[in-house]
Amino acid sequence: MKRYALIGKQLSHSFSPMIHREIYKDFDICAEYELLEVKEEELGDVIERLRKKEFSGLNVTIPYKKEIIKYLDELSEEAEAIGSVNTIALVHGKIIGYNTDYFGFYQSVLNYNIEVKGKHCFVLGTGGAALAVYKALKDLGGYVRYVSRNPKNEDMISYRRLEEEQIDVLVNTTPIGMYPNVEECPVTDKVIQKAKYVMDIIFNPLQTVLLKKADSTMNGLDMLVGQAIKAEEIWQNKKLYSSRDLLKRIGDLL
């Protein structure tokens, strides 16, 4: 039986096992998917377990999407460009890192029919997921900047500065508002009211305070399902189905 795992620091909120099990049922894949909470100093050991084929593949989540890179042999083209990894596979003896967050978010923007080309887009946060979201929005033709508490370059602005900007697309990639701290919101009401489209890559809860205030339902479940399918395509080395099919079933299970 093939064995896969999601590695991260705190994983009790994750829907990933359920999503991957649905994929395994659809394609008659004999596999199991588990949650593996690890400390940063244990990352190297987990990669060695993959090298020894204890696992057939790994996903990576908060807060290790950038830290994991130093333990890998190679990066895929998109992972190299983004500087963040959320999927790992052993290919011909080499540990290779991929970024399927990029594909998941890119597809979710298309699914939600969000107009990005030529629009002013702002990404809350600068972590591993933010890097993938930023590149997807750029590739879709948007004018994109990060929003950070400590802006370090011209691609970043402060949260206070955000209140003065024209906002067409606002995407939260921070954990603010995620279970169990579900009453928190990353930006002010003024910012929310200015934004034409508001997305949150958080999926637990499905509607964060940010989304409620924006009267938006564009949560991170679509991205999560999309990146999971892309990860399985890498691991199984074959094309799978459209994320819309699985998304509806996962939604029915929640």
22 within 8 A of 6, measured Cβ to Cβ: no
44-59: b (≥16 Cβ within 10 Å) or e:
eebbeebeeeebbbbb
The number of residues in the chain equals: 254
**152 given a catalytic annotation:** no
Question: Of 40, 34, 32, 48, nearest to 5 (Cα)?
Answer: 34
The residue annotated as part of the active site, out of 25, 65, 194, 230, is 65
Q: What is the DSSP string of 69-113?
A: GGG-SEE-HHHHHHT---EEEEETTEEEEE-HHHHHHHHHHHHTT
240 within 8 A of 27, measured Cβ to Cβ: yes
Give the gyration radius of the chain's Cα atoms: 18
- Residue 156 three-state SS: strand
- The amino acid present at 193, given as its one-letter code, is Q
Residues catalogued as catalytic: 65
